Amino acid sequence: MKVIVATGNAGKMREFRRILEPLGFQVTSMKEEGIDVPIVEDGTTFAENARIKAMTVHQHTGEAVIADDSGICVDALGGRPGVYSARYGGEDLPHPEKIKLLLKELIQVPDEKRTARFVAHICYIGADGTRIDAEECCEGVIGHAPRGEGGFGYDPIFMVGDKSFAELSGAEKDAVSHRGKALRAFAQKLSQGCGNQ
Ligand code: IMP
C-alpha cells in the first residue's frame, strides 16, 4: 500500500522507510512526489500538529498520507522544548547548536534529575479520509556531552541505558524509539480496521 510521508525531515524519512517498508508499505516522500505545499504547524500539541501535516498533504493530493509530530520533553525544563523541539533556539539553528544550548540549560542539573522522553504522534489519513492516530514515547536521560554518529536531531544526547540513540544501529533505535513504537501501533490499528473518519 502506497503512503506519502508528510515531512521534509530527512532523518525522519529514513526511519519511516526503515520501519514501514518491512511491514509492506510502499513509502514515498513529498519530495519524490513533487509535493510543495506550505504546512502551517500552529497546533499546541503533538496530536494537533501531526493532524495538520497529514491533512494538508491529504487535501492537496487526495492520497493516503502519514505524518509524525515529535519532540523531546525534558523534565527539568518543565517538558520543554516538547512540541517546539524543531524550533528550539530558532528554526534555523542547526541541531549541534541546539544540543549545546540544551546542555547549557541543564548544566546545574544533577544526573538523577536529567530524565526526559521522546514523544511521537503519528497521524494517518487514508485516501478515503479514514484517520488513525497513535502516540508513543521513549524514556531516557539527557547526557552531558554528545555521543555517537548515527541518527539525527537530539539523538547524540538522549541516553537509553549506557548508550545514546546516536550510538545505536537503526534497528536498535527502532525497537525502542517513540517513532518505532508509534508506527507499529498505527500499522496494527490499520490492519484491524480501527480507523475513525
Ligand atoms: P517536528 O515534528 O517536525 O516538529 O520536529 C520534531 C523535532 O524533534 C526534530 O526536528 C528533532 O529536533 C526532534 N526529534 C523528534 N524525533 C527525534 C528523534 O528520533 N531523534 C532526535 N530528535 C528528534
CB environment 42-72: b (16+ within 10 A), e (fewer): ebeebbbbbbbbbbbbbebbebbbbbbbbbb
In this predicted model, what pLDDT tens digit does every residue of 112-152 receive, in sequence order?
Answer: 999 999 999 999 999 999 999 999 999 999 999 999 999 99
pLDDT of residue 162 exceeding 80, the answer is yes
> What secondary structure, in 3-state letters, does the chain show?
CEEEECCCCHHHHHHHHHHHHHHCCEEEEHHHHCCCCCCCCCCCCHHHHHHHHHHHHHHHHCCCEEEEEEEEEEHHHCCCEHHHHHHCCCCCCCHHHHHHHHHHHCCCCCHHHCEEEEEEEEEEECCCCCEEEEEEEEEEEECCCCCCCCCCCCHHHEEECCEEHHHCCHHHHHHHCHHHHHHHHHHHHHHCCCCEC
**Relative to the CA of 68, which ligand 1 atom is closest?**
2
Is-catalytic flag, 69? yes
Of all protein residues, whose CA lies closest to atom 10 belonging to ligand 1?
86
pTM of the predicted structure, to 2 decimals: 0.97
DSSP-assigned beta bridge partners for residue 117: 73, 139
| Residue 4 confidence (pLDDT) | 98
Of all protein residues, whose CA lies closest to atom 13 belonging to ligand 1?
71
Q: What is the mean pLDDT of residues 153-168?
A: 98
Q: What is the mean pLDDT of residues 179-197?
A: 90
**Relative to the CA of 173, which ligand 1 atom is closest?**
19
In this predicted model, what pLDDT tens digit does every residue of 14-72 receive, in sequence order?
Answer: 999 999 999 999 999 999 999 999 999 999 999 999 999 999 999 999 999 999 999 99
